[in-house]
Structure 1
Amino acid sequence: MSMIHESVRGDLSDLAAFAVVAEERSFTRAAARLGVSQSALSHTIRALERRLGLQLLARTTRSVSPTPAGNALLQDLAPALERIRQSLQKVRNLRDRPSGRLRLVTSKSAAMTVLLPKLEAFTKAYPEIVLDVTITNDPVDLVAGEFDAGIQIGEFIQRDMIAVRVSADLKLALVGSPAYFASRKPPKTPLDLKDHACIGFRFSSGMYRWEFEKGKKMVTFNPLGPASFDDIDLVVQAILTGAGIGMSMEHTLMPMIKDGRLIQVMKDWCPAFPGYFLYYPSRRNQPGALAALISTLRLKG
């Protein structure tokens, strides 16, 4: 099978060279156009004629012209070569004008923070790309899930992935409602949390453990409280009802903190950390649609 492929590839290359010589009516001009030496081009045409058992070009010291057999071949060959040229141009257009379906997996928070603010601009710039977005809280094997890319916090991304930063630093905020703190003293250190009702956020693999850091001190706390949810919006709603305290991204909670619906506590124990990254498997030839998404979402500056 490989020998057949090599034969077809060689014939196509030689036929294309023949068409150029016939068009230019000159081995010198054709060789310059093809970027090969005149002697190499002459050898190619002679080899083609031997394989076909026909003389395709009449040569004199002053001119080159197709023979009747050469003209007959050109009548069929020219349209075929043009179709090939058009097909190659379509492929180049896909590179220059990205298109197709791009399968993306992300958490809801990452989609709200990174993707949605730039979605309108992306769809206008690349109308032929369709984003197929799957939302999950859990780490995902992109290759096994047949995803093109994902967006996630850096600590959850596998080390063999290529990661591109797509957000500024983030902070978690520990909050409770005024009603909750009306009868309870706000916690000041992680040790105080044992006296509070803690609303947890849950992955399918288990509870998200709260991580605190202050100076060189690092503390991890498992929020075992009256309720836990696998949807961060429900965690926040439970906090607003006064059922307990809980954690979420500070930037999403800030409007509620500013208008007094939530009270932020232990702020000095919640340092900033690197934000979201778009990640994808290493590929020699990166799809144009993925390159366009990376260019759009990449953190500038």
Structure 2
Amino acid sequence: MKRDELGDLVAFLAVAEEQSFTRAAARLGTSQSSLSHTVRRLEERLGVRLLTRTTRKVSPTAAGEQLAETLRPAFDDIKGRLSSINALRERPAGLIRITSSKYVADRILMPVVLRLMREYPEVNIEIAIDQRLTDIVAERFDAGVRFGEMVEKDMVAVRIGPEISMAVVGSPEYFERHAQPKTPYELIEHRCINFRMPTMGGLYVWEFEQNGRPLNIRVDGQFVCNDGDMIIAAAKAGIGLAALPADLLEEQSGDGELVRVLEDWCPPFPGYHLYYPSRRQITPAFELLVDALRYRG
């Protein structure tokens, strides 16, 4: 059905219910002459007279009454469904899909998500654990989590955690056999544990900065992995130096199990951000989640 055909049906039903072109025109916010033309066009298209017109009254013919009885429940159903949709705009409800790494999901998302689902039973949340830089638009996620500096420019980014920094660490056993590096340049003399990037498959280039000057170093060693926990385990075992976010290392390094070096070369950078398309229409449920996750430290 074409858009103008649906409009013709709406116009006819208004006239049939009001039994007046004047009242129907006022109800629809149009002119009486335009409404009369619309009804005539519908009658010509259907090949049957729908209304009987007199100087004092307009009433449906038998065909018109049959059409009105068909349209009335259909339009009432549409109105009811639209009311339901409007109600969703007024109260938190519906499904929210988020993609995140396991670390962020465990420590930042889950405490908030669990509280919201208890408080708002009509809010449903799905968290997909993925280390990749997921295309949330293509894969139909409402939002994702990345470091702030990695969020694309056409996305809205909301900070959900403090600034963090990278940390280079090694075990006491490793440093019994190797001198602690004083500058990143000395890393070429050390065995280092490489991190395999989950998105492009390349090796992470260790990033440093001092006095506003960035420095990137490619390292080498015996072990390569794409999992932070396994890299930490290898560093604790003395396999080599590791470079990972400081907050991850602090939680899992244990008392004295890992020694941090090159700290003055690792300034803080924007931490974890929730990101979503700037053109996304915000629902009450999503707005509630974003506000609950927003970092206020």
The TM-score, its normalising length taken from structure 2, stands at 0.76
> Would you say the 8 A contact 1:139–1:157 is kept in 2?
no
> Would you say the 8 A contact 2:113–2:125 is kept in 1?
no
One of 143, 153, 164 as aligned partner of 1:170: 164
What corresponds to 1:231 in structure 2? 227
Q: CA deviation at 1:231?
A: 0.3
**Counterparts of 2:103 and 2:244, CA distance in 1:** 9
Q: CA deviation at 1:17?
A: 2.0
Q: CA deviation at 1:211?
A: 1.0
> Would you say the 8 A contact 1:212–1:218 is kept in 2?
yes
> Would you say the 8 A contact 2:102–2:129 is kept in 1?
no
> Would you say the 8 A contact 1:99–1:289 is kept in 2?
no
Q: Does 1:153 pair with 2:151?
A: no
Q: Does 1:116 pair with 2:130?
A: no
Q: Does 1:216 pair with 2:209?
A: no
One of 248, 253, 256 as aligned partner of 1:252: 248
What corresponds to 2:28 in structure 1? 34
One of 247, 270, 276 as aligned partner of 2:272: 276
User: Structure 1 residues 289 and 201 mapped into 2: Cα distance closer, same or farther (>3 Å)?
Assistant: farther
User: Structure 1 residues 140 and 48 mapped into 2: Cα distance closer, same or farther (>3 Å)?
Assistant: closer
Q: For structure 1, which runs of at least 5 residues remain unmatched after alignment?
A: none
The TM-score, its normalising length taken from structure 1, stands at 0.76
Local SS of the residue matching 1:151: strand
Worse-matched range after superposition: 254-263 or 244-253: 254-263
Q: For structure 2, which runs of at least 5 residues remain unmatched after alignment?
A: none
Local SS of the residue matching 2:7: helix
> Would you say the 8 A contact 1:100–1:289 is kept in 2?
no
What corresponds to 1:76 in structure 2? 70
Q: CA deviation at 1:174?
A: 1.8
**Counterparts of 1:255 and 1:75, CA distance in 2:** 68
> Would you say the 8 A contact 2:167–2:243 is kept in 1?
yes
**Counterparts of 2:101 and 2:94, CA distance in 1:** 24
Local SS of the residue matching 1:272: coil
Q: Does 1:20 pair with 2:28?
A: no
User: Structure 1 residues 110 and 247 mapped into 2: Cα distance closer, same or farther (>3 Å)?
Assistant: same
What corresponds to 1:10 in structure 2? 4
Amino acid at match of 2:168: L
Q: CA deviation at 1:192?
A: 3.5
Q: CA deviation at 1:141?
A: 4.8
After TM superposition, the structure 1 = structure 2 runs for residues 134-145 of structure 1, keeping only pairs within 5 Å, are: 134-136=129-131, 138-141=132-135
Local SS of the residue matching 2:196: strand
Amino acid at match of 2:228: I
Q: CA deviation at 1:289?
A: 9.6
**Counterparts of 2:128 and 2:122, CA distance in 1:** 16
Amino acid at match of 1:22: A
**Counterparts of 2:50 and 2:218, CA distance in 1:** 85
> Would you say the 8 A contact 1:174–1:266 is kept in 2?
yes
**Counterparts of 1:21 and 1:300, CA distance in 2:** 57
Q: CA deviation at 1:14?
A: 2.0
Q: CA deviation at 1:133?
A: 0.7
Q: CA deviation at 1:94?
A: 6.0
Q: CA deviation at 1:213?
A: 0.7
> What do the CA deviations read for 1:270-292 (whole angstroms, capped 9, x no partner)?
11112234445675x65859955
Local SS of the residue matching 1:74: helix
User: Structure 1 residues 172 and 143 mapped into 2: Cα distance closer, same or farther (>3 Å)?
Assistant: same
